[in-house]
Structures are given as C-alpha cells and as structure tokens.
Amino acid sequence: MHKKFRFLGPTLSCACLCLFVAITGCARRESAVQSGNRDQVLHRGIGSEVSDLDPQLAANIAEGDIASALFEGLVAEDPVDLHPVPGVAESWEISADQLTYQFHLRAGARWSNGVPVTAQDFVESWRRILTPSLGATNADLLHLLQGAEAFHRGLTKDFNSVGVTALDPHTLRVRLEHPAPYFLSLLTNPAWLPVPVPTIAASGPASERGNPWTKPATFVGNGPFTLKSWEPNRRIIVEKSPTYWDAAHVRLSAINFYPIDSVDTEERAFRSGQLHVTYVLPFSKVDTYRRESPQLLRTDPYLDTYFLRLNLLRPPLGDVRVRRALAQAIDRAAIVEKILHGGQHPATALTPPGLPGYTAPTGLAVNFDAARRLLADAGFPGGKGLPPVELLYNTSENHRTLAEALQEMWRRELGLDVRLVNQEFKVVLTERRTGNFQILLSDWVGDYLDASTFLDLWRSDSSNNHTTWTSTAYDSLLFAAARTPDAAERARQLQQAEALMLADAPIIPLYYNTHVFLLQPSVKGWHPTLLDHHPYKHVWLEE
C-alpha cells in the first residue's frame, strides 16, 4: 500500500512486552493458532501500530492491509495473480480511446449499517480525498481523473469539473486524463475505496483530519469484514460482515491484527503458537528457519525497493557531489549477502526488475575511489570539515542492523561521522512529512505493475517526494510518457527520467526486497503475489 512502507518496529518496549505476555499467557492451554484453526480466526502480525483506519489517510502497508478487509472498491483482486475482478461493480465497459469507464454497481452491495452502496458514494468519497483540507498523502493517485488535479490544487472549487459522475444509483461514469492500462488495478488502492461520507459527517467535519468515525462505536465499512474492536498498541479485531454482498463465500469468521513493534518479539509469538502470519522475520533468524523449519519460511517475490531519501535543504546534501559520493560508497552486494539472507538483490536503480515492458537504467554503482574524489572536490577530503550527518530510521532490530552497516561503510570509506537516529513509526512519518531529517531509510512498494508507480514519486508536485528535489525536465518526461500511446517510446521516456533522477541522486537505491516472513501451514489461500496482497475473503484455516 501504498504509500507504502514496510516499516519494521522497535526493540522490546513496555507495550510490546505486555502484548507478548497477553497473547502467550494461554500457551499452557490451547494456543491462539490451534483455537483459530478450529474457529476460523486468523492471527496476524502487522508491524507497528496504525495511526488511523480511514483508508483515504492510509500511509503505510499495515493501514492499507487492514483497509482491504474493511472496505471494497469498484473492483477486487484475484487471490492468485491479483488481476482485477468484480467488486462493488459487477461489470464495466471501457471506451475505444480508453478514457471513459462505465461501472455497473451490484444491487446487493451494502454498508455494514445495511444502507446500499451507490454510485454517489464513490463521487462523494473521491470528492472528499481530493479536498485540500483533508491533506490526504495519496490523493495525487486520483489525479488520473480528468480535472482532479486542478480541484485538488485548489485551482477550482467546482467538483463537477472532475471526471466522475453518478448517472443513476447503480451506474458510475469515470473519465480519465489520459489512457492508463493499469487503471483497474489501481482502483484497489485504499485511496480509491469508498467511505461512508454521511457517517463521517455525523462525527465531525468530513474533510478534516482527526475525525473519530473509525472508532468501533461509529465505524461503517463495506468490505467482507467489519470493525469489532481496536485496542491501541495491542490488537485490532475485525469480524465477518453479515451485510457484505458475498458473505456466503467468506470463510474466516474474524481476523486479529497485532501491532508487534519488535521483530524478535513477533518471531517468539509465532514460535509459541500465537500467530499464523508474521509481518517480517529478523535477519538473524532467516538461515535458521531455512535450515531447521523450511516449511514455515516464506521468501516471496515483492515489488519493493529499499532506498535512502536525502533532504536537499539540509547541508551538505544540496551538493550533488556529496550525494553521489554517498551513493558510490555503499557496497550493496555485501549488504545483501552478509546481512539480509532473504534472496534480495543489490539495486542501483529505483524501479525493480520484472515490470512489464520496462528495464531500469544503471545508476551509481559502488566505486570507493570515485566517491572519495567527489567528496574531496566538494571541499571535504577524507571527510574533513564535514559536520556529523544524521541517518533516521524507524526503530527496528532489522533497520538498526542495516543503518549500522551504512554508518560503518561511510566512516571507513569517506571518513564521515554518521549519527544514527531511531524513532517510533508515527514519529518518523511526521518527521518525513515535515522534512525534519537529513537522510531517511525508506522503501516503496508498488501500487500497480508499471514503472510509473515508482517514478511518479519524484515529480515536483508529488506528496511522497520529501526530498525537495525538483526537475522540470523530469516532470516533462513523465508528463509526456503518460500521454504516449507507443509502448516502446513511453518506456524510453521513463528510462530517460529515471536516469536523470539517479544521476542527480536525491535518493540512493539500496536493494530490491523480498518479503521474508513466517506462515503456519494451516493457512490456506495465501498465495505469493508481487504486491503482497492477500484478499482475506479467499483465505481460510485448516486444523
């Protein structure tokens, strides 16, 4: 999800310890996994605590993952390969120019309060996320709608100029700014999901953050599950929704999501039978599971790249020579081979391999001598005269190991004094949004299978840029590529844009990730997918 960070969590905090005791206290009797298998209750770790269950404000993978259980968009995903299948819309037509989509909503679609889901609900939902006062991080995903960007930027207050119209309660017409072959897949992103605007308005201003409508007492969704309880820093429970149009085919009775910050604590919870699925696995445990319990270890392909964001407003990172020196002083192969152990691959570009019709250009590879010359040219020979540099990461045993490796490489090869700063997940998101960092450990998981899902991040107007880097040439290439019908020419324009960005180094790619986690054999219907999506209506448990 989009936007999309598989942030890993802190070392064992008091909250984590209480959670671990709570979920392991019954281990002497029947474990959560054993009772869950019998009662169709899935227990899943989700990393850090979520900030909100409002899908339009989802800013990380965990929030998007929970949103996929609580809400459903016009289209849904096939559980095996994620190709678009009917969701709230039972059918649709696409015009010959691929600019107009007409969706036919199923009559049986209901909100969890029993009210029908209508085409107007989608109009009002998309109006809400595009309203500037909401400050939705991923609202720019809807700029694909005709006129949406102008409304979102406040250039017009007339939402009738945006390309979405409810022709009747069950017919929605959507007009795009330009053809987008990935549009149907994009509709499963949390930003495009419908929200119950009348319910939200009853709890406060609908287009402002902080509205408490997602609390269990007032929550309304339209997905296969509905919210039962939310105990912050402990557990979120969703239960099968009786009003969901396809409830007869939902086999899980409930899902318990656990925000276990510590990856070590999460692994112990899995080992003691309290979790069916972990969020990740400590780097140090991968080889052990591969050797001793391979049936529990999953290393799935994943459309995810780890990289560093550099804040160009924080000296000395405004100097491209310093940025390039940092990039060329990182031995990515050593990180992959000696630290990660999960089938990851070194990355010098941002877009991962395997995207249809696209091959990324080669970026700045490791070259210690060149890195030292660049730093000297910038006036800091051997790092002399360069103030300490801060590397921010969200607290995690895994992330600390990675940050320490970068710290040592830069010290050894460039003579830099790198200070590691770790903060809890929510704080890192705030620091990122406000630009209060020098270097930030980051990752990005694609929203759909196209290079633009990675390259659009670095447009001058992207709300996910956070580096302050801007390039008119880069923006122009992306604009042209989006409107180029010839696939080969479009790929060439995207490659030019990515090469330009990599040469300017506002980011430093580190590695192409895999999803390394633990899964109980009793979990069925959990297929490896590039986006790591697992539609819960197709998951079940066996004793």
Q: Answer whether residue 125 shows pLDDT above 50.
A: yes
Three-state SS for 247-284 is HHHCCCCEEEEECCCCHHHHHHHHHCCCCCECCCCCHH
pLDDT digits (tens, 9 = 90+) for 21-48: 444 444 457 899 999 999 999 999 998 8
Q: Answer whether residue 15 shows pLDDT above 50.
A: no
Query: Mean pLDDT score of the chain, rounded to an integer?
Result: 93
Strand-pairing partners, residue 520, are none
Q: What is the pLDDT of residue 242?
A: 98
Query: Mean pLDDT over residues 409-429, rounded?
Result: 93
Distances (CA, A) of 525 to 143, 188, 251, 257, 528: 34, 19, 11, 18, 10
Using a pLDDT cut of 70, give the percent of the chain over it: 95
Query: Mean pLDDT over residues 392-397, rounded?
Result: 87
Q: What is the pLDDT of residue 60?
A: 85
CB of 342 closer than 8 Å to CB of 297: no
CB of 371 closer than 8 Å to CB of 332: no
R_g of the chain computed on alpha carbons: 23
- The secondary element (H helix, E strand) that includes residue 227 is strand 225-231
Distances (CA, A) of 536 to 23, 131, 193, 301: 22, 31, 16, 19
Query: Mean pLDDT over residues 405-417, rounded?
Result: 97
- Separation CA 529–CA 185 (nearest Å): 14
Q: Answer whether residue 286 shows pLDDT above 90.
A: yes
Q: Answer whether residue 17 shows pLDDT above 90.
A: no
Q: Answer whether residue 112 shows pLDDT above 70.
A: yes
Q: What is the pLDDT of residue 430?
A: 87
Q: What is the pLDDT of residue 463?
A: 86
320-328 and 368-377 helices cross at what angle (nearest 10)? 160
Q: What is the pLDDT of residue 538?
A: 98
CB of 383 closer than 8 Å to CB of 395: no
Classify residue 394 by its DSSP letter: E
- The secondary element (H helix, E strand) that includes residue 304 is strand 297-310
Q: What is the pLDDT of residue 28?
A: 58
Give the distance, in angstroms, between the CA of residue 97 and the centroid of all CA atoms in the same chain: 31
Neighbours of 198 (CB within 10 A): 13
Q: What is the pLDDT of residue 347?
A: 97
Q: What is the pLDDT of residue 154?
A: 94
Q: Answer whether residue 7 shows pLDDT above 50.
A: no
pLDDT band at 275 (very low <50, low <70, confident <90, very high): very high
Q: Answer whether residue 448 shows pLDDT above 50.
A: yes
Q: What is the pLDDT of residue 395?
A: 79
pLDDT digits (tens, 9 = 90+) for 355-377: 989 999 999 999 999 999 999 99
CB of 44 closer than 8 Å to CB of 257: yes
Neighbours of 261 (CB within 10 A): 28
Phi and psi (nearest 5°) for 168?
-160, 175
Domains (range + CATH), the chain: 14-263+519-541 (3.40.190.10), 301-515 (3.10.105.10)
Query: Mean pLDDT over residues 394-417, rounded?
Result: 94
Q: What is the pLDDT of residue 59?
A: 84
**CA dihedral (367, 370, 376, 378) positive or negative:** negative
pLDDT band at 429 (very low <50, low <70, confident <90, very high): confident
263-271 and 14-24 helices cross at what angle (nearest 10)? 10
Q: Answer whether residue 1 shows pLDDT above 50.
A: no
Q: Which amino acid is at 390?
A: E
Q: What is the pLDDT of residue 10?
A: 33
Phi and psi (nearest 5°) for 514?
-120, 165
